[in-house]
Amino acid sequence: MKNWIAGAFGAACMVVAGMAAAQDLMVEKKVFELPSFTTQGGRTLKNVKVGWESYGTLNADKSNAILICHFFSGNSHAAGKYDAKDAAPGYWDAIVGPGKAIDTNKYFVLSSDTLVNLNTGDPKTTTTGPASLDPDTGKPYALDFPVVTVGDFVNVQKALVESLGIRKLALVAGPSMGALQTWEWAASHPEMVAKAMPVIGAAEADAQLIAWLDVWAAPILVDPNWNKGAYYGGTPPNAGLAKALAVVTLQANHGDWTNGTFGRRPAKEGEEPTKALGNRFQVQSILDNAGEARAKVSDANHFLYLVKANQLFAAGGTSLANGASKIKAPVLLITQPKDLVFTADTIGRTVEGMKQGGVDISHITIQGSRGHLDGVISMKQAEGAIRAFLEK
């Protein structure tokens, strides 16, 4: 049980999505490298590397490409399996594959790891971030790594897409932080985006989300092993990171799930929480165990840099209104009304802002007991709407 809870947006998503998969699509992880990349903040990085994978075949005129952007704790593994023995396929396998809503018999679908990807301990993830070695010093960057933005994530993806000779994407899509990247693509590179499908994500990080992201980061910052980011070669702040991941998991879900799954049961039979301060409820134990498991393959500084990138986000770089004025592609926005990360009122402001900016936007909702996480594990509900949007 630990494994599928541990990834608030990760292993949990893959397992449940895998149940819906009719067949396994076999994929290979590759590495894309940029000898030099200049961030939006003006810092030039050498030898930037990100992992990527693809499904389907690029057609002769390279007009059938779709880009999938991943969520906060995810990576490029959107669909299929690396090996037939893998426990589960990629997180959106229910809608990406042969004959599925995003049909790989028709489209060439690609996805890449972001800069500062969380999963530094996963051999199938390649990323450049604070844990990477600075070519100039031979030591990890730590906090000398520059602040990066969602726009930087997109610009690395743009370089990857262009390296394949693709001039325009038939669709850009993704859930959560992947939705932020989708909005950014549509606003910053409108000439390259035919259609956009952001899922469970608004076009701007409002003050409430900025504050919540600070709560996500807080356990790391108070862990003494964090040492202002200089922990490489020593003891990593995994206790703080584990608690941070537990917070993410909780907010990514909904009370329908926690109450329905755990209720008020004690963590251990016979150890009632009323009897001792250290006696815990099952929901506490499960969340903490999951966070601890995930922390072992994650990096605390990368988590903090991802938090910062999400806090800084506004499509097009400045504001919702500015972003809306730049978007030319039709948009299909898919959300979950019980989402506790991108709440219904936040989504409502995005929809209204897009309409005022003249964007052709359609908005549909999906249901479930998981809240935000339904935008990853319950996407088959939107299959008909996605097909219709692509065919329109």
Q: Label the pairing between strands 102-103 and 196-199.
A: unpaired
Contact 357, 364 (CB under 8 A): no
Exposed, middle or buried, 391 (CB in 10 Å: 0-12/13-18/19+)? exposed
Phi, psi angle pair for 247, to nearest 5°: -65, -45
Which residue do the tokens 């299929």 mark?
80
Tell me the three-class secondary structure of 216-257, residue by residue: HHHHHHCCHHHHHHCCCCCCCCHHHHHHHHHHHHHHHCCHHH
User: Which amino acid makes up residue 360?
Assistant: D
Q: What is the pLDDT of residues 63-91, one digit of tens each?
A: 999 999 999 999 999 999 999 999 999 99
Catalytic residue among 189, 254, 302, 372: 372
Which helix (DSSP H) or strand (DSSP E) does residue 51 occupy? Answer: strand 44-55
Mean pLDDT per 10-residue segment, the chain (392 residues):
41 39 80 98 98 98 98 98 95 98 98 98 98 98 98 98 98 98 98 98 97 98 98 98 98 97 95 96 96 97 98 91 95 98 97 97 98 98 98 94
Contact 342, 200 (CB under 8 A): yes
Identify whether 339 is a catalytic site residue: yes
pLDDT of amino acid 23 = 63
Mean pLDDT estimate for the chain: 94
Please, what is the end-to-end C-alpha distance for the chain in angstroms? Answer: 41
Q: What is the pLDDT of residues 112-157, one digit of tens each?
A: 999 999 999 999 999 999 999 999 999 999 999 999 999 999 999 9
Helix (H, G, I), strand (E, B) or coil at 103: strand
Domains of the chain listed by start with CATH number? 2-205+314-391 (3.40.50.1820)
Q: Distance between CA 372 and CA 255 in Å, rounded?
A: 11
Q: Distance between CA 307 and CA 369 in Å, rounded?
A: 25
pLDDT of amino acid 317 = 86
pLDDT of amino acid 148 = 98
Picking from 17, 12, 175, the residue whose alpha carbon sits closest to that of residue 81 is: 17
Helix (H, G, I), strand (E, B) or coil at 37: strand
Helix (H, G, I), strand (E, B) or coil at 14: helix
Helix (H, G, I), strand (E, B) or coil at 296: coil
Alpha-carbon 320 to chain mean position: 20
Buried b (16+ CB within 10 A) or exposed e, 46-66: eebebbbbbbbebeeeeebbb
Helix (H, G, I), strand (E, B) or coil at 263: coil
Q: What tokens does 81 get?
A: 């399996």
- Residues paired with residue 32 on neighbouring β-strands, in sequence order: 50
Q: Distance between CA 316 and CA 318 in Å, rounded?
A: 6
pLDDT of amino acid 319 = 87
Identify whether 372 is a catalytic site residue: yes
Q: Distance between CA 90 and CA 94 in Å, rounded?
A: 9
Exposed, middle or buried, 392 (CB in 10 Å: 0-12/13-18/19+)? exposed
Q: Distance between CA 244 and CA 253 in Å, rounded?
A: 15
Q: Distance between CA 229 and CA 223 in Å, rounded?
A: 11
Catalytic residue among 93, 103, 152, 339: 339
pTM of the shown model: 0.93
Catalytic residue among 54, 176, 298, 378: 176
Which residue do the tokens 């219709």 mark?
388
Q: Distance between CA 342 and CA 363 in Å, rounded?
A: 14
Q: What tokens does 318 get?
A: 């400045």
